[in-house]
């Protein structure tokens, strides 16, 4: 019987080994549909267009004016930056120096109107403050390099655009006739268009376009 003990121990080990089960290896299960998986999206400041050069200058002058405690210039700059911020929330943000110059001139006109009212009220102190604002804003307009367009030059530009659009319309199949007012304005004011980098009174421009479109029919 003693000789059978080693054999019995081996048999017992084999019996125990056969009772051990190992889990099968399966492919990992994915819970949820792919459309519900979370994804992260990163935004880079490089996606945004660079600010106009004149706006960068004005922002730099803000720090200089703060250090110098130049109250009139601080008032003018903060007013401009506030207007630029408000415009950024609309469909017409300030993206070019020409647009910024138009904004500066609008602010100048508002200051001129305020100065006239204060002068009528006998408040010379407030008149002087408004005129100082006009002077400071004028410095940035002069430094912008943006050129004004005279009425004669504007009429020449409009006539050239109208002629080009009329030729394109006549060459189309079928011919579409004279271009409408909206198409002419869109071409004139388009990025990299004939009025890019120039300040234009849009009311005056619209009047000239209407006149020439009507005469072209």
Residue 91: which domain range?
50-146
Last-in-domain residue among 85, 120, 146 = 146
Q: What band does 174 get if pLDDT is binned at 50, 70 and 90?
A: confident
Same structural domain, 120 and 187: no
pLDDT given for residue 25 in this prediction: 46
- Which H/E stretch holds residue 58? helix 53-68
In the listed set 124, 146, 168, which residue is the last one of a domain according to the structure? Answer: 146
Backbone angles phi, psi at 148, to 5 degrees: -75, 150
Asked if residue 2 belongs to a domain, the reply is no
Q: 9 lies in a domain?
A: no
Distance CA 207, CA 184 (A): 12
Last residue of a domain, one of 84, 117, 146: 146
What are the angstrom distances between the C-alpha of 118 and each of 121, 128, 172?
5, 9, 59
Give yes or no: residues 65 and 98 share one domain: yes
- Higher-confidence residue: 92 or 100? 100
pLDDT tens digits, one per residue of 17-30? 545 444 444 445 44
Position 48 scores a pLDDT of: 62
Q: Tell me, yes or no, whether 128 and 175 share the same domain.
A: no
H helices of 69-96, where?
Answer: 71-88
The answer to whether residue 15 is domain-embedded is: no
Q: Is 199 helix (H, G, I), strand (E, B) or coil?
A: strand
Residue bearing the bigger pLDDT, 20 or 53: 53
């Amino acid at each position: 019987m003693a000789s059978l003990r080693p054999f019995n121990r081996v048999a017992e080990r084999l019996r125990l080994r056969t009772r051990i089960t190992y889990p099968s290896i399966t492919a990992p299960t994915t819970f949820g549909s792919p459309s519900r998986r979370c994804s992260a999206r990163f935004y880079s400041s490089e996606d945004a267009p660079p600010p106009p050069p004149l706006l960068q200058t004005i922002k730099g002058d803000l720090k200089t004016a703060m250090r110098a405690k130049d109250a009139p210039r601080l008032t003018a700059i903060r007013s401009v930056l506030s207007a630029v911020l408000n415009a950024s929330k609309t469909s017409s943000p300030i993206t070019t120096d020409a647009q910024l110059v138009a904004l500066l001139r609008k602010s100048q006109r508002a200051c001129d109107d305020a100065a006239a009212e204060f002068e009528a009220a006998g408040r010379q102190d407030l008149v002087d403050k408004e005129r100082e604002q006009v002077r400071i804003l004028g410095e940035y307009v002069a430094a912008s390099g943006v050129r004004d367009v005279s009425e004669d030059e504007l009429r020449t530009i409009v006539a050239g655009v109208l002629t080009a659009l009329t030729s394109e319309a006549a060459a189309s199949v079928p011919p579409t006739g004279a271009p409408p007012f909206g198409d002419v304005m869109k071409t004139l004011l388009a990025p990299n268009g004939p009025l890019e980098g120039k300040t234009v009174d849009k009311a005056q421009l619209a009047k000239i376009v209407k006149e020439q479109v009507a005469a072209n029919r």
